[in-house]
A and B are shown apart, each in its own frame.
Chain A
């Protein structure tokens, strides 16, 4: 990994260039794999949750899982390849520490992983199921939507699978293409009975994951894979909870509300800075965090103040979750709006490979949307 990194330079435009050190492979070439389209902005070091340690996103996940296995003897973690540590290293060391009956591989079968997880939860144990990529969650869609989400309601509260948490890597990663880049939160937002949560950083991830695990409803926790190594923060080593269904206002502003979740929150922070610097526009940045049930109050309160809303996500724009937010906000805040609500999202295409830099809702597209809203 380090050897490969040494061979790569970045040009001014952000394109990667391979050095001539490759010898017989010929002259250096430019490759369009985007240098990251965002800069990760770490949050200030938390002081309320005890001692902290430098962790990246996958390490903060491991820490949350470690805390859980330590305090809850019924907790088990399972999925494809979790035993050796997982393809993204989220479960490294846990099998050795807690035993092979608690951290184990399953056969390659997502409908089985989620179905099995529901059963573990129904029997009263804490089930943490890993789906290797969110792109592969669809075989489990029936188990999630028809079973997990409806277990409590259909049984008159006699049975439930609240002890189930499903984790999956999510979102674009620079080269993931159709099947390693998807953001499927909109499919699940349409399903009453489950919760859908997406963190923007290691500190958020650990607290939100622990809340999902503690929550008495089945939860889906999407982890932005591009942040697994890129996002590094000081994260409390002890367990702590960040409440679900509470959006966070990351910076206050008066002219435009920017709403996003996951990786896109960092894009929005840069857009806010650009808007201030180039347009003198003050943006309020909100991290939605929980997609379902979502915090309508915080978003609407902000739009009542600013009168302008921009929502941005990587997932395709049609039927994406921005549509739900937009619809609710126009119902609640119609007379406060100064401009139509803007959605800057992925195009209505499958997630492309070589065209990723053009597909994603980057800071320039968002900045441009802010400009048009201000000038409306």
Chain B
């Protein structure tokens, strides 16, 4: 066998040298990428190095499986400790007092709105709601690092991002109440917000579908040369969907300026993370796709801000995707249809509420600098609650959208079959109107 191999090598080697080939086969070079840059390695079959087009690596002659490291996983980047103290001064983004106060106010306003709308569902005033308790830091930290023109694709637990951008309380309420002011025209369940003006693509219920869409939008944005990034939010549960794999792979191979922002909050409804994945979370998957990746403390507004800001800068400059896994905790139930005491202890929830909450950590940072105190807190609580209650009362009184909106926007234009069905409905109502709550709807 060795003799044969020797013969083969001298024979082929002689052939190659005589013909002056550098190698043999159709191509003399094999392409491969390092950090997105395309390299060409000369194809020299005489060298003892793997020539496979599929990977760039050395040979090894000892059989050893790679052990996934989940005991000591990717470290969690943070700027503040749990008491809101800056750990490494060099990492403090040194945001202005105005900006920090704005972040704080948006987080607490969201919290207040969540409490009131959750309660309103319990009282049968709206049909459904999802709170954001505990994850306010992920919303506001990332939103603060973006520009207004950056396109946002969300999942459903990113209301704080939209709130930071300036979406008014009246429109949050309008969507939840599905009243005639709803920009979505009353067609979707509560919390499925969207805003064209604020570049926040309308939420849809199917999970992870937004991930490859965001990659496509980023590709289009890249071709425009408009200096924008696309950011795509999703939870650690949605990251199990095939669409997530698709989106990551496409964004890396097609070199898209996109930030993938994973809110790892510990639960997908009742499913804890150890039933969702066995690897080192979501951040560890990034390198598998050739993606720059980082894990951050999602309850640390500054860590989220710094990571998003830098990811944004580099994604645009280098046309490559960035994966940020923001570790946090879902303090509330999954939704109003869920009672999480069925699958986790009250103690566990209390720990996060009391000991590691993004709002209190930021408040400690502010009070340490004399930017905030008891008085300000009391005044703001009263004021924000008043604003929310007023918007709430206005939204409740408002009519629902007119019935024709059931039939429009299926296509850009009205089609004959839908027009016929609309006429049939009105005809039906002519004869049976007492059976329907017509008085609640705009005419």
User: Which of the listed residues B194, B213, B243, B254 has the most CB atoms from chain A within 10 Å of its own CB?
Assistant: B213
Contact of B214 among A106, A111, A119, A160 (CB under 8 A): A119
Cα(A153)–Cα(B185), bound, Å: 9
Distance of A151 Cα from B206 Cα, bound (Å) = 12
Once the chains bind, are B209 and A150 in contact (CB under 8 Å)? no
Rounded to whole Å, the gap between the CB of A294 and the closest CB of chain B is 8
Is A142 engaged at the interface, CB distance under 8 Å to the other chain? yes
B193-222 CB contacts (< 8 Å) to partner A:
194-196, 201-202, 204, 206, 209, 211-221
Contacts of B153 in A (CB 8 A): 119
Q: Nearest chain-B residue to A328 (Cβ)?
A: B417
Contact indicator A158/B183 (Cβ below 8 Å): yes
Query: With the chains together, A155 CA to B192 CA distance in Å?
Result: 9
- Whether B206 lies near A146 (C-beta < 8 A) is yes
Contact of A156 among B187, B212, B253, B411 (CB under 8 A): B187
Contact between chains at A216 and B412 (CB < 8 Å): yes
B94 at the interface (CB under 8 A from A): no
Given the known A-B contacts A158-B183, A296-B417, are A111 and B220 also in contact in the complex, defined by CB atoms under 8 Å? no
Whether B223 lies near A112 (C-beta < 8 A) is no
Residue of B nearest to A152 (CB): B409
Interface contact A76-B409, CB-CB below 8 Å:
no
Nearest-Cβ distance from residue A347 to partner chain B, whole angstroms: 30
Q: How far is the CB of A103 from chain B (nearest CB, A)?
A: 13
| Contacting residues, chain A, for B415 (C-beta < 8 A) | 245, 293
Q: How far is the CA of A293 from the CA of B417 in the complex (A)?
A: 8
Q: Does B250 contact A (CB under 8 A)?
A: yes
Whether A101 sits at the interface, judged by CB under 8 Å, is yes
Min distance, Cβ A329 to any Cβ of chain B, angstroms: 14
> Is A132 an interface position by the 8 A CB rule?
no
Contact A154 B184, beta carbon cutoff 8 Å: yes
**Chain B residues in 8 Å Cβ range of A127:** 216
The answer to whether A63 has its CB under 8 Å from any CB of chain B is: no
A193, B192: Cα distance in complex, Å = 19
B103 within 8 A of A: no
> Which of A147-197 touch B at CB < 8 Å?
147, 150-160, 162, 192-193, 195
A124 adjacent to chain B (CB < 8 Å): yes
What's the least CB distance linking B404 to chain A, in Å? 13
**Is B287 in contact with chain A by the CB < 8 A criterion?**
no
- Using A152-B412, A156-B187, A217-B411 as known contacts, say yes or no to A116 and B202 having CB atoms under 8 A apart: no
Would you call B191 an interface residue if the criterion is a C-beta within 8 Å of the partner chain's C-beta atoms?
A: no
Whether a CB of chain A sits under 8 angstroms from the CB of B182 is yes
Interface residues of B in 146-177 (CB under 8 A from A): 151, 153
A119 contacts B204, CB within 8 Å? no
Complex-state Cα separation, A106 to B250, whole angstroms: 7
Q: A193 and B194 in contact (CB under 8 A), knowing A115-B212, A296-B417?
A: no
Check: B16 CB closer than 8 A to any chain A CB.
no
Q: Across the interface, which residues of B come within 8 angstroms of A122, CB to CB?
A: 201, 213, 216-217
CB-based contact A107/B249 at 8 Å: yes
- Interface residue? A117 (CB, 8 A): yes
User: Any chain B CB within 8 A of the CB of A109?
Assistant: yes
- Interface flags for B212-253 (1: CB within 8 Å of A; 0: not) read 111111111101000000000000000000110111011001
CB within 8 Å of B: which of A112-128? 112, 114-125, 127
Cβ–Cβ < 8 Å partners of B206 in chain A: 142, 146-147
Interface: B53 (CB within 8 A): no
Q: Interface centre among A115, A150, A160, by most B CB within 10 Å?
A: A115
Taking the nearest CB of chain A, how far is it from the CB of B263, in angstroms? 20
Contact yes or no, A119 B202, CB < 8 A: no
A76 to B219, CA, bound (A): 10
The docked-state distance in angstroms from the alpha carbon of A191 to that of B99 is: 47
Q: Are A160 and B412 also in contact (CB < 8 A) when A112-B246, A116-B215 are?
A: yes
Q: Which residue of A lies closest to B405 (CB)?
A: A156
Can you list, as one digit per residue, whether each of B12-25 has a CB less than 8 Å from chain A (1) or not (0)?
Answer: 00000000000000
A154 to B202, CA, bound (A): 8
Give the Cβ gap from B152 to chain A, nearest Cβ, in Å: 12
How far, in whole Å, are A296 and B416 apart by their CA atoms in the complex?
9
Contact with B along A328-354 (1 / 0, CB 8 A): 000000000000000000000000000
Identify which of A104, A107, A109, A156 contacts B409 (C-beta below 8 A): A156
A155: B residues at CB distance < 8 A:
184, 194, 201-202
Pair A158/B217 contact, Cβ less than 8 Å? no
Output the residue of B214, B216, B410 with the most chain A CB within 10 A: B216
**Nearest neighbor of A215 in chain B, beta-carbon distance:** B412
Cβ–Cβ contact A153 & B412, under 8 A = no
Contacts of B408 in A (CB 8 A): 157
Determine if B243 and A115 form an interchain contact, defined as CB atoms under 8 angstroms apart: yes
Q: Is the CB of B412 within 8 A of A162?
A: yes
A60 close to B (CB within 8 Å) = no
B188 at the interface (CB under 8 A from A): yes
CA distance A158 to B201 in the complex (A): 9
| A43 at the B interface (CB under 8 A) | no
A157: shortest Cβ distance to chain B, in Å?
5
Residues of A contacting B411 in the complex (Cβ-Cβ under 8 angstroms)? 152, 193, 195, 216-217, 293
Question: Which residue from chain B places its CB closest to the CB of A146 in the assembled complex?
Answer: B206
Tell me if A107 and B185 are in contact (CB < 8 A).
Answer: no
B220 adjacent to A119 (CB under 8 Å): yes
Taken together as a complex, chains A and B put the C-alpha atoms of A153 and B412 apart, in Å, by 9
- Contacting B212 at CB < 8 Å: which of A111, A123, A125, A152? A111
Knowing A109-B246, A119-B216, A122-B217, say if A159 contacts B201 (CB, 8 Å).
Answer: yes
A173 to chain B, nearest CB (A): 28
A158 and B188: CB pair below 8 A?
A: no
Q: Is A297 an interface residue (CB 8 A)?
A: yes
Sample 16 A-B pairs with CB under 8 A, ordered by A number: A115-B243, A116-B247, A119-B215, A121-B216, A122-B213, A123-B220, A123-B221, A142-B206, A146-B204, A147-B213, A153-B410, A154-B184, A154-B187, A158-B183, A192-B410, A296-B417
Q: Which 9 A-B pairs have the closest CB atoms?
A: A119-B216, A115-B212, A112-B246, A119-B213, A123-B220, A155-B202, A116-B216, A156-B185, A119-B217
Q: Given A155-B194, A217-B411, A217-B412, list of 20 further CB < 8 A pairs?
A: A74-B220, A106-B253, A107-B246, A112-B215, A115-B216, A119-B153, A119-B213, A119-B217, A119-B219, A120-B216, A122-B217, A123-B151, A142-B209, A147-B209, A151-B202, A154-B202, A155-B184, A157-B408, A192-B418, A195-B411
